[in-house]
Amino acid sequence: MTGLLRTSIEEQFSDIWLEGELSNLRAPGSGHVYCTLKDKTSQIRAVLFRSSAVRLRFSLQEGLHVLVRGRLTVYEPRGEYQIVLDRVEPKGIGALQLAFEQLKERLATEGLFDQERKQAIPVFPRTVGVVTSLTGAAIRDILAVLRRRWPTLHILIAPVQVQGESAGRQIAEALTALNELDSVDVIIVGRGGGSLEDLWSFNEEIVVRAIAASHIPVVSAVGHEVDVTLADFVADFRAPTPSAAAETVVPVLAEIVERVRELQVRVGQVMLQHCATERQRLEASIRGVTDIRFRLQEASQRTDDMVDRLREMVQQLLTSGRERVHEVQRDLSGLNPILAIKQGLVTIPQFSKRLEGYMGVLLAQHRHRTHAMLAQLNTLSPLAVLGRGYSILHTVPSGQILRRAHDVEVGQELEARLASGRLSCLVTRVFDDSSV
């Protein structure tokens, strides 16, 4: 019965279109893809065999709204009917667009488009590699611009197909080949404008990965400004067009030569100016030195003068000093004690002789006067009076000479001195003058 049904179904539904959402996606090792296609009210099992699955540009995702074409069949072991798909198109968005978005997201997640991965485009490349078709407009534009800007540039073209089945692989291989040469400074990869389908090779993973792997900086130039491919995302620099890419990779040779010449001239001018300044400074220094020499000569002359004058002054001083010394010597010689002594030696004996004579006279005179005075004294002596009969009465033992009678008392012992010898007397009575 299942066999009958199968034949019947296969005959009736050999080419049908269905629209629905993908669910229960399964992709086992066989490469076939199994899923369920469903809408709001119904569902059907579907299978996409490997041969059809590899032709898909985008990947099937759960929930994806698709338009499919295929044939109905019955899977006899389970007795289930299913649709064998040969075409799957995303609904509402082109298959290519979807594939683009899917791959872009995947590669972005891998970090292939990260800004940190970008290499600097060399300012002065010697050799520029170009990966493009030899038949397109792109190569003509690129060559024209490169030659105009830098006529002596070395250009190495790696010709590839830029659309069609094998284009992606060719582009990737060309990039690898240029990297192996190790003489290329920068690579332009691209093509002229076209449909999304035409530009598709530049969205292929193999191309994106080859650009990412290039150790030579890559400038992408695909289609027109509005066309954006994955090659543009991964390239180190995205040029809007092939011509723009050529302008990006080389400066204008004439301008560079001009710049070098200008720098050369400036180096020379500045140095010359520098030298001139230094020379002026040196000349000024030399003038200064000469000045100093003059001043030195002048100073030395002045010094000579002064030395002369000093010498004269010293001479004068010496002369006057010597004169003064003579004078002093002369003065001193008048005061010489030796002369005085010598003179003294002569005059002193004379003096002494004169003194001796004088002294003799004086002595004689004095002797004479002394004798006279002694004679006179003799006449005045109380002892002489005693000789004339007087006696001196004085107290014993004080020896006081008595002049008045009532100076003594009765019974007092007195002594009387006579011209010759003494008498001891005793007072018996005292008489007053009036009582006589």
Partner 1 sequence: MAAVKFEQAMARLEVIVGELEKNDLPLDESLKIFEEGIRLSKNCLKILEEAEHKVEVLVQDKNGKKRIHAYTPDGEADELSS
Applying CB under 8 A, the residues found at the interface with partner 1 are: 122-127, 129, 134-135, 140, 143, 150-159, 173-174, 177-178, 181, 185, 253, 256-257, 259-261, 263-264, 266-268, 270-271, 273-275, 277-278
Cβ 161 vs Cβ 172: under 8 Å: no
Beta carbons within 8 Å of 200's beta carbon, 6+ residues apart: 96, 163
Cβ proximity to partner 1: between 185 and 227 the closer is 185
Which CB, 70 or 136, lies closer to partner 1? 136
How far apart CA 129 and CA 188 sit, in angstroms, is 6
Instruction: Name the residue nearer to partner 1 (CB basis): 16 or 260.
Output: 260
In the bound complex, what is the minimum distance in angstroms from residue 185's beta carbon to partner 1? 4
Nearest distance from C-beta of residue 280 to partner 1, angstroms: 12
Residue 12: phi, psi to the nearest 5?
Answer: -80, -35
Considering the complex, state which of residue 55 and residue 279 has its C-beta at the smaller distance from partner 1: 279
How far is 313 from 220, CA to CA, in rounded Å? 104
Q: Which is nearer to partner 1, 45 or 140 (CB)?
A: 140
Considering the complex, what minimum distance in angstroms separates the CB of residue 260 from partner 1?
Answer: 5
DSSP readout, 222-271? Answer: ESSTT---HHHHHSSEE-SSHHHHHHHH---HHHHHHHHHHHHHHHHHHH
Token pair in block for residue 26: 């399964």
Residue 171 CB, nearest approach to partner 1 (Å): 13
Between 155 and 208, CB nearer to partner 1? 155
Picking from 213, 224, 118, the residue whose alpha carbon sits closest to that of residue 172 is: 213
The nearest distance, CB 148 to partner 1, in angstroms, is 13
CB of 263 to partner 1, least distance (A): 5
Burial class for 385, CB neighbours closer than 10 Å (0-12, 13-18, 19+): middle
Q: Are 83 and 68 in contact (CB under 8 A)?
A: yes
